[in-house]
Chain A
Amino acid sequence: MEQILKVEGLCRDYGRGTVTHAVDHVDFSVEKGEFVGIMGPSGSGKTTLLNCISTIDTPTAGHIWVEGKDITSLKQKQLSQFRRERLGFVFQDCNLLDTLTAFENIALALTIRKTPPQKVERLVQETAQLLEITDCLNKYPYQMSGGQQQRTAAARAIVTRPALILADEPTGALDSKSARLLLERFEVMNELCEATILMVTHDAFTASYCHRILFLRDGAVFAQLERGDLDRRDFFRRIIGVVTELGGDQNDVL
């Protein structure tokens, strides 16, 4: 299997004098087509780790390879290009542009990559179908429900066929039905388009859609769980099990 992401000895410190190790020597890798979750209580370094991978933040030490390319050594200008061409983002607060319709929000991800204009409409329509948002393509973000907004953001992330999709608490602001809808779409994206997804969450239900889960505490990986052939419900119980077994911050994890 082709390796999409490889993280080695990654550290991110904050502050001077009394240094906080937000991310402390993290190693892991993600294969092509995987759907990986990162779980952990608040302050465990999940978001910092994701920010480093998404090149929004720069690590203090260690390396990150995406498709064999060390992105920690890229210059500012190359970083923009890398984000534009190889990554897709889904944020908790979806970050859609309020002046653009859903269609245009998705199209923008293509136009800034200089996709040939005649291809844009077809690609957007296809992706919209995949995410079941064809009905609200001509609406502005404030005219859509939270779930529709988040699925539009997901469409924007995948329409460029990036190497890696990074999702930061995508279901954080959604009710359980909308969350389920979004996660099912993530599964479809993962299976049909072979999208590689790395998702940060603190919610066991959301995490149960992943193939593999890394548990983070105090900036370090302290457990890993594989779904294997398990049914999603069983996997959910396993996750709860791990969380309970490890005790301590169980309430934070849930």
Chain B
Amino acid sequence: MFSKLAVKNVGRSFRDYGVYFLTVAFGVCLFYVFNALETQSVIRYLAQHPRANIVGAIQQLIGILSVFVWVVLAFLILYASGFLVRRRSRELGTYLMLGMERWQVARLLLAETAVIALTALAVGLALGVVLSQALSLFTAGLFAVPMTYFAFSISLPAIGKTVLAFAAIFLLVMFYHAFTISRRKLIDLLRARRVNQELKVRSLGVSVVLFLVGCVLLAVAYTMLLTRGLLRVDELFWVMIGLGSLGTLLFFRALSGFLLRLCQTSKKLYYKNLNLFILRQFNANINTTYRSMTVICLMLLLAIGITATSVGLNNTVSQMADQTVPQDVELSVWPEEDGGTMDLPALLTAEGFDPEQQCSRWITFPMYQDENGRSYLLQTDYDAYAAAWGKEKADAFVEDWRIQMVSQETEELSVSRWYFLADYAGDRQEGEDAFLAAVSGLKDTGGYSYTTKLSTWMDLMGTKVLVLFIGLYLGVVFLVASAAVLALQQLSQAADSAQRYRVLSQLGVSRRMRGRSVDIQVFLAFFLPLALALVHAVVGMTAANAVIAEVGKVDAAASSAVTALLLVAVYGGYFLATCWGSRRLLKGG
């Protein structure tokens, strides 16, 4: 009988459950896509690559990040279901009044949640599989990955992980509600929809102190980040994260307490048009508001930080390709016995790679060493290098190896290895193939090593693809998640406020003024968290750029531009859609 009532209830309050359902299904979908990264064709392509260990590292990174994503989703779902129970508390109160036991009502709620959870899980997983394939196709096209690496695939481990993760979340939600229902008073349940939320501590002085404490905590976290750097993950790192999060929470908690008081002190502001109504609307859900603002702010920080860093890193990687390998080929060979003479061009020609024909320019020279292991180069060889590739590259070479110049051979110096540097003539790939074949045939050497521009470039491309792909992917996921939560929250609040707007209309408030009031409320919800997230992000980016600067040049302009574009497109789009949707909801009423 209870399962019947539960299923019927879900069907009946579909409009209410719609918001909750969407949130959960969206969360499931997100979690699956994130964990099923291994099925992405880009990753599979890279797994074929010699540097496959990168993929392992990425899997590990995703494992860590998905814990974080889990926490975020758990909060999100708890929030959405809390909203739902609040909306229906009057109905639940009626059950109690009709004589149902509390544990029966709690059980009813559990059954309802279970029905929703199972449906949402199934729908979310299906969506996730489809979305993951679509993303795979899209990125494969973007990064010119051969289509042979694309195949429809479902990641079973990811499904298992998703189901487990959400089962845990639902258990949490169920116990939380069973607990709250069993503790609430009947009278509170019956009139819950009419009661405005109030902060526990209401005095302005306490709010000011809390605000200051929040700012101090944030300042401490910022200082720690800037002095310690981003990459030292130890206990203090987590303390820093904790301080930052707590600071953010206090900031919004105090700000929500402030905002109304502050505006009330200015009669000119408070008693102007609909201002007092707007502020009261904002304050009516204050407890929910400041918590969700904190979560949204942190999610936005992640979105902004990850996107900007990955784009910045990507450009740095591109620059590195040119700097590390100035020639198409750099071959160094150790002679079989110390001080031996080698004619590298002749040896290569014998193996089928003739520098005279296949290279546009080339040089070969010995590198000398003294007893202390210091390297020396003949002045004439340096001049030849400079003549072939310019003084700049020659200097860079000398500097990289800390070479000292000598005018002629002396007794103390012996040849440590022979160099062969060249640029291919004609088709690069043909030259590369011929060279690689020839090198593998080299005999009677004490060992050799080579770098070619083409292979380095491939390596770096791999890294670049990965950094950009994962970065943008995570960035978009967090951005969409936070925007979606805000949109859901604002739209459901608009539905709750329909009656108030009807009264305003009867009092003669024009449609334009009502529309403006809606817009301001949505604006506050969207841009208060964004403002603090931007401050966080600027500090975070400074720390991240310091890390990047150690390996290459930082391209701050490009990364900010891409991030800003993404932010405007996704977040701005959601903002406008929410304004439009809320206005429509209120016009209909």
**A-to-B contact residues, CB < 8 Å:** 54, 56, 76-77, 80-85, 87, 89, 95-100, 104, 107-112, 114-115, 117-118, 120-121, 140-142, 156
Contacts and interface: CB of A to CB of B under 8 A. Distances in A.
B500 interface: yes
A111 B194 contact: no
Nearest to A121: B267
Given A80-B505, A108-B276, A117-B268, 16 more contacts: A56-B506, A83-B507, A84-B507, A87-B508, A98-B196, A98-B500, A99-B284, A99-B500, A100-B277, A111-B271, A112-B274, A117-B271, A117-B272, A120-B271, A121-B267, A141-B194
B176 to A, nearest CB: 26
B565 to A, nearest CB: 38
Nearest to A87: B508
A165 B269 CA distance: 29
Given A111-B275, A117-B268, A83 B195 contact: no
Interface string B483-505: 00000000000000000100111
A83 B508 contact: yes
Contacts of A97: 277, 280, 500, 503-504
7 contacts: A80-B510, A81-B510, A83-B508, A97-B280, A107-B276, A117-B272, A140-B196
Given A98-B196, A99-B500, A117-B270, A82 B508 contact: yes
Contacts of A84: 507-510
Please report whether the interface of chain B is mostly helix, strand, loop or mixed according to DSSP. Answer: helix
- What are the 3 A-B residue pairs with the smallest beta carbon separation, nearest first? A84-B508, A83-B508, A117-B271
A99 B509 contact: no
B18 to A, nearest CB: 24
B273 A112 contact: yes
B137 to A, nearest CB: 49
B513 interface: yes
A95 B503 contact: yes
Contacts of A156: 507
Interface in B495-545: 500, 503-511, 513
Interface of B: 191, 194-196, 267-277, 280-281, 283-284, 500, 503-511, 513
A84 B509 CA distance: 7
**Most chain A CB neighbours (cut-off 10 Å) among B268, B281, B503, B505:** B503
Nearest to B505: A80
Contacts of A111: 271-276
Contact of B191 (A99, A117, A142): A142
B508 A80 contact: yes
Contacts of B500: 97-99
Contact of B267 (A80, A118, A140, A142): A118
A104 B280 contact: yes
A185 B535 CA distance: 56
B506 A83 contact: yes
B108 to A, nearest CB: 26
B520 to A, nearest CB: 15
A84 B195 CA distance: 28
Contacts of A89: 506-507
B194 A142 contact: yes
Contact of B511 (A56, A80, A117, A141): A80
B187 to A, nearest CB: 11
A117 B280 CA distance: 17
B298 to A, nearest CB: 28
Chain B CB within 10 A, most for which of A108, A121, A140? A108
A81 B512 CA distance: 12
Nearest to A84: B508
B119 to A, nearest CB: 34
B280 A100 contact: yes
B271 A110 contact: yes
Contacts of A87: 508
Contacts of B277: 97, 99-100, 104, 108
Contacts of A77: 510
Contacts of A98: 194, 196, 500
Nearest to B273: A111
Nearest to B269: A117
Contacts of B508: 80-85, 87, 112
Contacts of A117: 267-272
Contacts of A56: 506
Contacts of A141: 194
B458 to A, nearest CB: 62
B503 to A, nearest CB: 5
B195 A142 contact: yes
Nearest to B284: A99
A56 to B, nearest CB: 7
B196 A99 contact: yes
A80 B509 contact: yes
B509 A120 contact: no
Contacts of B272: 111, 114, 117
B251 to A, nearest CB: 24
Nearest to B285: A99
Q: Give the residue among A54, A82, A89 with the most B Cβ atoms within 10 A.
A: A89
Contacts of B274: 108, 111-112
A84 B506 CA distance: 8
B276 A109 contact: no
Nearest to A54: B506
A112 B507 contact: yes
B528 to A, nearest CB: 19
A217 to B, nearest CB: 28
Contacts of B269: 117
Interface centre among B191, B267, B268, B504, by most chain A C-beta atoms within 10 angstroms, is B267
The residue in A97, A107, A115, A117 that gathers the most chain B C-beta atoms within 10 A of its C-beta is A97
Nearest to B268: A117
Nearest to B509: A112
Nearest to A124: B271
A100 B273 contact: no
Given A117-B268, A117-B271, A140-B196, A100 B276 contact: yes
B273 A114 contact: yes
B267 A95 contact: no
Contacts of A114: 272-273
A85 B510 CA distance: 12
